[in-house]
Amino acid sequence: MTEKDEHQRPGEKIPVSAEAQKLGLLDVPIAPILSDLVAFADELNTRNIDEAIANQKYRRAQLSWQRAYVIVAAVLAALTLGIIFLFYLAFIKLAETTENEAKIVTAQVAMLDKQRSMAESAVTVMKEQAAEQAAADRPVVVANAIVPAKLGKVAQSWTQIDSQGVPPRNVAVSWHNFGNAIATNFVQKGQLMLAKGGEPPPIDPQCNELHRPEKKNNGNGLAPDNTMFAVWSATQAFKLTDANDSHIYAVGCAYYDGLGKGRFFSDVCLVWLPAQQPEFQPCQDPNRNYIH
């Protein structure tokens, strides 16, 4: 500090030279300028804070949308995987069912083949019996055809129908005399009956070779190489709902006499096989469909 500065009093104005005044070195108040600068800095700071808050809110909103999108996408992916898994299970079950059905069909085909072979054997035996009995100069009456039928309005009138896999409740029976003698006092009995799988074929309770019908039930005569028809119906205990796990049988018999003292009997047993033609085939039991 110079000696001149030491002698300067506080508040004392320092004279400014004309040269200094020309250069603009004037006495300017600084406080207002500083105040404006501080206010401007505060405004900038407030604006920056507001922008930062707005940006933060925008980021939070974006994060919320992204989180919701991720959750929805995860849920949809889980549902898609669940549906695919259900389709897979259904496919596996369908494949197992198809395989089981194929096995069942194969078993049924094998059973039908066995039944067909046994029926053919039974038909052959019946033909042999009929030929033997015919050669003995006697009547030989055989039920040579049984077909599903629709009853008419007149008694014993009927029309042959195709069952189309529906268990029939009525059948028409064709009785033919293959013998070379007339059958007198011809009486036939028969009906549709059910039997569980594995059980032997049923027997019509009206058919007993040792207990012939009474005289009042005696019927007509049947000449050689002639045919007559009869209608058999289901019993009262016959229910279509029970036919699903049972076999339907047409069982019956015929009582008849010859011109002499001979008395004869024919047993009938056929099973309904809708997949074959004709639909009724001889029973597998070798002790049925005999002629005495």
Beta strands in the chain (DSSP E): 141-151, 158-160, 170-177, 184-196, 227-233, 246-257, 263-272, 280-282
pTM (whole model) above 0.85 = no
Q: Residue 189 in contact with residue 232, Cβ under 8 Å?
A: no
Nearest to 253, CA basis, from 215, 220, 204, 211: 204
DSSP string over 18-29: HHHHHTT-----
Look at residue 286 and give its three-state secondary structure: coil
How buried is 254 (Cβ within 10 angstroms: 0-12 exposed, 13-18 middle, 19+ buried)? buried
CA 289 to chain centre: 39
- Cα–Cα distance between 98 and 76 in angstroms, integer? 32
* Measured CA distances, 177 to 84, 238, 245 (Å): 68, 31, 36
Provide the residue ranges of all domains of the chain, joining segments of one domain with +: 28-135, 138-282
Nearest to 230, CA basis, from 162, 151, 163: 151
Could you give the dihedral angle defined by the CA atoms of residues 179, 182, 187 and 188, in that order, rounded to the nearest 10 degrees?
30
DSSP state of 292: -
- Cα–Cα distance between 117 and 218 in angstroms, integer? 37
Taking only the tens of pLDDT, the chain with its 292 residues reads 444 444 445 555 555 555 555 545 445 567 777 777 777 777 878 888 888 888 888 888 888 888 888 888 888 888 888 899 888 888 888 888 777 767 655 655 555 565 556 556 655 666 666 565 555 678 999 998 898 988 888 777 888 888 888 888 899 999 999 988 999 999 999 999 988 878 899 999 999 988 887 765 456 889 999 999 999 998 776 676 666 678 889 999 999 998 877 899 999 999 988 777 788 889 888 899 999 8
Buried b (16+ CB within 10 A) or exposed e, 122-146: beeebeebbeebbeeebbbbbbebb
Fold of 138-282: Immunoglobulin-like (2.60.40)
Question: For residue 25, what pLDDT is reported?
Answer: 46
Nearest to 185, CA basis, from 257, 121, 91: 257
